[in-house]
Structure 1
Amino acid sequence: MHAMQYDITLPADYDMGIIRKRVATRGHLLDDFPGLGLKAYLMREREDGSPVNQYAPYYLWADPAGMNAFLWGPGFQGIVRDFGRPAVQHWTALAYDEGPAASAAPRAATRRRRPLPEGAAPADAVAEALDRHTREAAADGVVASALAVDPRHWELLSFTLWAAPEPQDEGEHFQVLHLSAPGRGRLRPGRLW
């Protein structure tokens, strides 16, 4: 399983209604995309207290062939055409879990990025992060949660979908405009090795 995200930071005076309309008219196009576990169409706005206006879709790919078909196919080319070519961040998934609110539609998401501590054994740091992930995924209001790592930069990524519009979790907060989840049932729960 692979996690992937790109951030499209927009001008401070950008009409974020354009992003809402884009997702409302195009979001359903990935509702049955092969190899996609889930895609959360995320947005955050300065008027809601965010430091930036941003469109930042987040993906969990059940199959790398699906990720490649998206990146090199017409879907991502629309992003490139409309916003330029963003840096696509990707991580190897370490764990995925459904939360107590798994049947609810997610309304918010949180993202936390943390470097693995300098000098710490990677396996120990990942074990600690997995323990924290298990506890956090079981919190009230959690729809689903994933933990991933970028071993190039030794960065951990925690990503959580919430049923409430204002989660009480640390990290960067996003609105969920739509969730495409054609392969969510195929995302294996728990530790992924």
Structure 2
Amino acid sequence: MRKLLVVSAAMMLGTAAIAEGLPGVTDGPGPNLVIEVAGADGTAKGKIVLDLYADKAPKHVERLVALAKSGAYDGVVFHRVIDGFMAQTGDVQYGKRDGDTSMAGAGGSDQPDLAAEFNDVSFQKGTVGMARSQDPNSANSQFFIDLAPAEFLDGQYTVVGQLVDGWEVLNSIKKGDQAANGAVDQPDYMAKVTVQE
């Protein structure tokens, strides 16, 4: 079953333009995911840093950290990116750039799905959430980073962290076709993902 953020691109067409900067965001206690982003041609675009909320979603953060440390996220594409909404990645099963990515978004990892850990953090610009299918307890390895506030997701998707550095890099990630629900042709990818604890 396709693991994705279950919101259509059509719902996002009215979203206001993205303002630059992330006011009030400071780096928390971590752990942090450091993602080196590259273009489809392999050109380095820069790094983004995600502060993970181990106190709010411990099982999901544990999964992200384990996958990053194992190298599973290295080379995984940003398969779904909707301008004014979010950038989605993390399909370690079907999303590796050196393979056939036509199924990217439909897979997870070799680990079992996770029970939802909904919390009181609102989806705002730079918020990191876990993608899932219709089943609230189906998050696995895929995650998304909001490009704009998305409070309509509150209480329905597990918030796992916040972007604390690299907004310009995140915003430069190649956008997908809104008519195709954000599917990206020749997508950018996570060249290397490391953990800072």
Is the pair's TM-score, using the shorter chain for normalization, greater than 0.5?
no
TM-score, normalised via structure 1 length? 0.33
Between structures 1 and 2, the one with greater strand share: 1
